[in-house]
Amino acid sequence: MVCFTTSEYKLTPALRLLIPRYLEGIRVNVKKDDGIIGGSMGPGFLDDVPDGETVTTERFWSGHVSSQVLPVWNQPPAAPNADAASVEAAEWIDSTIGRRLSLDGNELFLYAKFQRKLDCGILPALGLIKRGNSVQRWFYSPAEEKAVLLIRGAVGHHAIEVTATGVWDTSLPILDFDDGFVQDAFGDAFLPVEMREQWTAWKKKLDDTKGESWADPILR
Return the number of other C-beta atoms located less than 10 Å from residue 137's C-beta: 22
Helix (H, G, I), strand (E, B) or coil at 38: strand
User: Does 215 fall in a domain?
Assistant: no
Q: What is the pTM of this model?
A: 0.94
Domain co-membership, 119 together with 184:
no
User: Does 219 fall in a domain?
Assistant: no
Domain co-membership, 38 together with 107:
no
Classify burial at 140, counting beta carbons within 10 Å of its beta carbon; exposed 0-12, middle 13-18, buried 19 or more. buried
Domain that holds residue 166: 84-170
Which pLDDT value is given to residue 114? Answer: 97
Question: Into how many domains does the chain fold?
Answer: 2
Which pLDDT value is given to residue 1? Answer: 59
Domain co-membership, 190 together with 204:
yes
Is residue 99 very low, low, confident or very high in pLDDT (cuts 50, 70, 90)?
very high
Domain co-membership, 163 together with 181:
no
User: Does 214 fall in a domain?
Assistant: no
Summarised one tens digit per residue, pLDDT across range 182-193 is 999 999 999 999
Is residue 153 very low, low, confident or very high in pLDDT (cuts 50, 70, 90)?
confident
Residue 33 has pLDDT above 70, yes or no: no
Domain co-membership, 95 together with 160:
yes
Position 52, amino acid: G
Nearest CA-CA partner of 95 in 141, 47, 131, 50: 131
Domain co-membership, 184 together with 160:
no
Domain co-membership, 60 together with 89:
no
Domain co-membership, 19 together with 65:
yes
Domain co-membership, 135 together with 184:
no
Domain co-membership, 180 together with 119:
no
User: Does 216 fall in a domain?
Assistant: no
Q: How far apart are CA 176 and CA 127, in angstroms?
A: 32
User: Does 107 fall in a domain?
Assistant: yes
Domain co-membership, 181 together with 113:
no
Helical segments of 31-157, H only: 64-69, 84-103, 123-126
Sign of CA dihedral 64, 60, 16, 175: negative
Position 187, amino acid: G
Q: Which residues pair with 147 in a beta bridge?
A: 140, 162
Mean pLDDT score of the chain, rounded to an integer? Answer: 94
User: Does 213 fall in a domain?
Assistant: no
User: Does 79 fall in a domain?
Assistant: no
Domain co-membership, 100 together with 116:
yes
User: Does 35 fall in a domain?
Assistant: yes
